[in-house]
Structure 1
């Protein structure tokens, strides 16, 4: 966890990772190795706006407390170091290891600078580490894969083991073609084209930061059945064109045979249909969850994902200093069966609340107006279950002022099964014209009850509902004294069947 250290750092998160005094964006090279989670990320080592792209680095043993490390891979006069991934080369297929120790191999995008041999192009390059990911050496034969394209980037590499054989697979994008390109390699140095996926579903902005992974498929009762029953999930991030404006991420569920990914969840082939936008598989319905990718080499089959908590519409202007931009909470993702179809579910990793217990609990609260709870902290987990009554709208206000003048309003409208997060009165909203907004998401509660888990931090709200099928992530910049939680119903009654408030910092 990070700590607020001065009035200049009012918004520094307690639950989320942020750099000490520089800029970050896309998570890169997420890997678990020798008991340590490594979070690399796009970083400007020299300032707090997007520039000089290099790989920053932070480490954790518990996915909660992160320690910033020295810059891992630094830009130079030849290249900026754009997004990519890291694998543990257990069998030393690359030849970068020595003395029987498996090297870590980073596969990243070289964005070649003016005056360099490949200027104006983006291509895929390698670096290797023999000390567990703390120091890196660039491969002398870079780049290892090029299309002579200015927008070919963001390689996510994993080890495929299946009927087609055993080899490395890379998913990368041609950003302006709305295409994910798949390649294979035996040694991470030489790559062979396999297939292309896209365009499909959301194409309102360029495609970036893909990921491809396999998950167990539960049966209709929610239980994991035959270990061989799986589906593959392809995620791809898009900017702009999100369901509530600006940056967003989407996912497809289907099959991968080692060569081709075939989606069974595609709604729109080719370019998007704006009338069907709500039907697409969104990783998050909020404005501030982008470039999400998953960790490699995590034990026990866990698939863990983290995203950049910001939006390119206003990313360089958010009112934080000297740092700018946090990461989301780490999420564990899984598949759930809904109406006979697999969908992606996301939950904050259990480590975040492993030692937490509710400070206050309530039940059976009949709402007819506003019920305010004083005395909380700025950093909380709020768990609430609502039963509809006569009110067309009910919900909560978090990070609220005592006089009701400020707060982030999280509303449920049961007639349309709609969740909204309104930050138009959330605090400092004047730094950019696009920031003040209301985000909406469709809910389909199975029981007629609405259960929310809300993680509130100094500069963010992350809402998880519908058993993890719907998430909404939003930056907010409230007054530090605004720590009230309120329940409300508008135009009638509703019941808060349960409410738990847990201070997390």
Structure 2
């Protein structure tokens, strides 16, 4: 018999692991508390948000920029919204960082701390933050031109509070291709140069620069491969293997082309010599970072102090199939919880990317309480996480059902004999806003027995990690009230043996 660990973060509720009636906490009139507003995930105060951009750590602050339309809750002329955090859990909203200009609106990109002042933007020993982004000229696009996307830069000398665009923009002209965007820039320590990974239609193109202003083409990866969609939002970074060696990971977001429809992100593990990326497997192979419908365009923070070869990641928690029509009103879209990515090795010696929720989530949590039936006073601590232990074996069939008092439910079915995980949200609340929202979401359980499950459930989402993050599944839900009743439906080979719970406070208090 194998022990299966199940832990779920629930916000907010009174909780009983055996299904005793629970009530939602009434927080009407409070800040960031509209229907379905996430309480432990970042979301904009209002209007539309999509891809995370420009993530950089500098002088104790994690900067999160994001694609933002300040005049509507649907996609439109893109700006860079801005927020900061000291712990990746609590966020402070800041004014818009980058506005459209004569070269176009501001599409996705990245930001770096130019600690050596290679750009020359710094003065009197100041370290400039430099943003690298895509200008999208809607005017040129409307005229039928195809070279409407170029790359520009801006810099900040006050910890990212204000930004000045470089007078020499664009720093990388369009060579005559329709999709030419989303620059992710890193410092390559061996070459002592900047490397840009750029999404170029069906491939990732790599460029190099000594000063962030002049860029030279180096190589392509994935050219000619039918990815099932357009390549977007690449990210390239080194990681450390369990035996201490260096490998490189390339993230590639695709729209469409995801395993469960719409947009999704896959990754490659290989080597990068400063000029060319070589994958350990063919470019056609699909290894997905997240098998859920709603983790897209995620990238990692730059300039983070050494994390023993890991990286910090955040994604956009939506899907282009239905992002513009989900039923929120004041705002639209949120981010995944920040996650720590590490390289692990399976029993066959194959490397994979493991994902964990950041440890600072503990900062908003109460102490664990153990027992088979657990209730907590929501007036004292209006948010809860619980953990359940289950004994099972490899051939078991069991179900985790998230429910509420209105009859809404979202169901995870683990079929360990078939090696398949299925998520069904067809009866989870509001679903009629798009025909594909009720499609079954599946993921392969092809890595041996399931030994650990961890789940975060917020007002409109669930994030599931299996076996310590060997498998990820992130999905939106829009129930009539919080899915705050969780049941494990046992087979003859599955037995619930114990459970425990702890609280999580709203990050917006």
Deviations 1:442-494 (A, max 9, x none): 22455x3431100010010000112211000000111225421111125x341
Matches of 1:202 and 1:504, distance apart in 2: 43
1:204 CA displacement: 1.1
Pick one of 198, 203, 213 that aligns with 1:172: 198
Pick one of 312, 318, 324 that aligns with 2:320: 312
1:441 aligns with 2:443: yes
Contact residue 396 and residue 494 of structure 2 kept, 8 A:
no
What is the aligned partner in structure 1 of residue 48 from structure 2?
A: 23
1:374 CA displacement: 7.3
Matches of 1:235 and 1:115, distance apart in 2: 30
1:357 CA displacement: 4.1
Pick one of 155, 161, 172 that aligns with 1:128: 155
Contact residue 376 and residue 484 of structure 1 kept, 8 A:
no
Pick one of 319, 335, 341 that aligns with 1:327: 335
* Local SS of the residue matching 2:472: strand
Matches of 2:86 and 2:418, distance apart in 1: 43
Structure 2 length normalisation: TM-score?
A: 0.87
What is the aligned partner in structure 2 of residue 204 from structure 1?
A: 228
1:249 aligns with 2:250: no
What is the aligned partner in structure 1 of residue 365 from structure 2?
A: 356
The verdict on how the C-alpha distance between 1:243 and 1:461 changes in structure 2, with shifts beyond 3 A counting, is same
* Local SS of the residue matching 2:426: coil
Bigger shift: residues 418-427 or 113-122:
113-122
Matches of 1:439 and 1:431, distance apart in 2: 17
1:272-351 equivalence runs, <5 A: 272=284, 280-301=286-307, 302-338=310-346, 339-351=348-360
Matches of 1:72 and 1:91, distance apart in 2: 23
Bigger shift: residues 40-49 or 192-201:
192-201
1:134 CA displacement: 1.1
Larger RCO, structure (CA 8 Å, separation 6 or more):
2
Matches of 1:457 and 1:426, distance apart in 2: 13
Deviations 1:401-460 (A, max 9, x none): 247x321112211102222221111111111111112211122455x3431100010010
1:4-43 equivalence runs, <5 A: 5=29, 9-43=34-68
1:237 aligns with 2:253: yes
Contact residue 391 and residue 489 of structure 1 kept, 8 A:
no
The verdict on how the C-alpha distance between 1:199 and 1:502 changes in structure 2, with shifts beyond 3 A counting, is farther
1:105 aligns with 2:130: yes
Matches of 1:114 and 1:11, distance apart in 2: 36
Matches of 1:467 and 1:31, distance apart in 2: 26
What is the aligned partner in structure 1 of residue 458 from structure 2?
A: 457
1:387 aligns with 2:400: no
What is the aligned partner in structure 1 of residue 238 from structure 2?
A: 214
* Local SS of the residue matching 1:114: helix
Pick one of 142, 146, 170 that aligns with 1:143: 170
The verdict on how the C-alpha distance between 1:201 and 1:288 changes in structure 2, with shifts beyond 3 A counting, is farther
Pick one of 416, 428, 439 that aligns with 1:414: 416
The verdict on how the C-alpha distance between 1:91 and 1:428 changes in structure 2, with shifts beyond 3 A counting, is same
* Local SS of the residue matching 2:176: strand
The verdict on how the C-alpha distance between 1:51 and 1:413 changes in structure 2, with shifts beyond 3 A counting, is same
1:4 CA displacement: 6.9
Structure 1 length normalisation: TM-score?
A: 0.87
Matches of 2:376 and 2:60, distance apart in 1: 38
What is the aligned partner in structure 2 of residue 85 from structure 1?
A: 110
Contact residue 27 and residue 308 of structure 1 kept, 8 A:
yes
What is the aligned partner in structure 2 of residue 470 from structure 1?
A: 471
Contact residue 211 and residue 293 of structure 1 kept, 8 A:
yes
Matches of 2:393 and 2:207, distance apart in 1: 54
1:498 CA displacement: 4.5
Contact residue 109 and residue 132 of structure 2 kept, 8 A:
yes
Bigger shift: residues 380-389 or 314-323:
380-389
Contact residue 29 and residue 39 of structure 1 kept, 8 A:
yes
What is the aligned partner in structure 2 of residue 72 from structure 1?
A: 97
1:120 CA displacement: 4.8
What is the aligned partner in structure 1 of residue 205 from structure 2?
A: 181
Contact residue 404 and residue 481 of structure 2 kept, 8 A:
no
1:299 CA displacement: 1.1
Contact residue 38 and residue 60 of structure 1 kept, 8 A:
yes
1:152 aligns with 2:154: no
The verdict on how the C-alpha distance between 1:245 and 1:383 changes in structure 2, with shifts beyond 3 A counting, is farther
| Pairs aligned (count) | 471
Contact residue 364 and residue 504 of structure 2 kept, 8 A:
no
Matches of 1:16 and 1:316, distance apart in 2: 19
What is the aligned partner in structure 2 of residue 366 from structure 1?
A: none
Matches of 2:432 and 2:156, distance apart in 1: 44
Q: Which runs of 5+ in 1 are unaligned?
A: 220-224, 273-278, 364-371
Matches of 2:433 and 2:461, distance apart in 1: 16
